[in-house]
Amino acid sequence: MIVFAKDSTAQSWVEDAAGSEFPIQNLPFGVFEHAGRKRAGAAIGGYVLDLAALEEAGIFNEHLRSAERLFATDTLNRYLASGREMWSAVRRRVISLLAAENVALADGTMVEADRRLRDDKSLREAALVSREEVRMHLPCEIGNFVDFYSSKEHASNVGAMFRDPQSPLLPNWVHLPIGYNGRSSSIVVSGTDVRRPCGQTKADDADAPTFGPTRLLDFELETGFITGPGNALGSPIPAGEAPQHIFGMVLVNDWSARDIQKWEYVPLGPFLGKSFTTSISPWVVTLDALAPFRVPGPKQDPPVLPYLQARGDWGLDIQLEVLLQSGEATQPHCLARTNLKHMYWSIVQQLAHVTSNGTNVLPGDLYASGTVSGPTPDSYGSMLELAWRGTKPITLPDGQQRKFIADGDTVIMRGRCEAEGFCVGFGEVRGKVLPART
């Protein structure tokens, strides 16, 4: 892995990289459209580094000895499939091209600055594109989507509301990462509008269900990891090997229609109340960039089974926030702030559990964390919790109140990791709610 120390002072010659959420220590990957072409790129400051342009210039072929084009495509899937050795080689090469001076890594090795991109005007103009001029797309073709339920605080809150406040967790929750297989076809990139879904609902005092728009539209503040090479069918991925298959992470808003979900989920779990839209951020922050922010996770009691045990700390100190901007407001209002480090089940445990029955993982699969809630009411990751099932409405700065999400509302989620001299940011995932089609 190509990892910066948390006290890294490395700088890029790209003018606005320092102090941005996309400094040289980050370099997230995504797919952008510019001048009518989709290509793979890495974010640096206010720019996108066109990796396909570098590839076409022979920079990666010269150093990686690869004749296969990885970046002149409209998805990252081919690159994701290439594996960690290639990911590290590309990251090292990009760092060398963007570094103002030689760079010291966390393991004491050096990356020598390469002046070719900085000093070659034509290459620089071709390869560095203002982020204001591009349109972002989904970073990869997502074949499989799993949504977990890995926050103990969130699961306890929901269990207290709907089951037993004295015993909110079901017996299996502390023994395995609970999850379900979602629908990848309705995953959209940040900025895509969200249509209020219709479905069956049944009021508690009604004799029969009715069909119509959801009245209880909610967001779920989540993160998700995207996989690389994957495994053969029938061959589980041990927790200790999971990092070899995890490329990086995105922000996820797994929208939820609570009333539709409540009526349909017995006995098989989430279905149409969850499958209508899932929004993700366009930039994939690599596991290498997140390595300095690994921290101990919550103590797991009782101890987990051997197949879920992994060496090292796999909690992630990622600060998260969710904001809401009504259709009439000019500025968004912060609803909650939380941190992924509270998550009970880690990403390596999630991947190990998913594959423990031998199911196969593909390059570009998305595995979402489930709602990330913290220990205090201002750190809850859903309106269901923040307004406590509608009993504690949230008052916005303009006096409007919300129990759930209204038509015209825009929900914005942001994430970042803070170090002494730099931050690693995720950008944002946002979606505006449109009225239902009836």
Q: So what's the pLDDT on residue 67?
A: 56
Q: Residue 316: pLDDT above 90?
A: yes
Q: What is the pLDDT of residue 60?
A: 87
Q: What does the pLDDT look like over 162-219, one tens digit per residue? A: 999 999 999 999 999 999 999 999 999 999 999 999 999 999 999 999 999 999 999 9
Instruction: Give per-residue pLDDT as tens, 239-279.
Output: 999 999 999 999 999 999 999 999 999 999 999 999 999 99
pLDDT of residue 19: 92
Tell me how far apart the alpha carbons of residues 305 and 356 are, in angstroms, rounded to a whole number.
Answer: 12
- Residue 299 pLDDT more than 70? yes
d(CA 320, CA 251): 9
The span from the CA of 351 to the CA of 241, in Å, is: 10
Does 14 have pLDDT greater than 90? yes
**305 band by pLDDT with thresholds 50, 70 and 90:** very high
Q: Is 154 a catalytic residue?
A: yes
Q: Provide φ and ψ at 348, rounded to 5°.
A: -70, -35
Q: Which of 7-11, 35-39, 64-68, 348-352 has the lowest mean pLDDT?
A: 64-68
Segment 327-346 shows an average pLDDT of 97
| Average confidence (pLDDT) over 54-77 | 82
Integer angstrom CA distances of residue 379 from 150, 233, 383: 15, 39, 11
Q: Which one is catalytic: 34, 63, 137, 154?
A: 154
Phi, psi of 159 (to 5 degrees): -65, -35
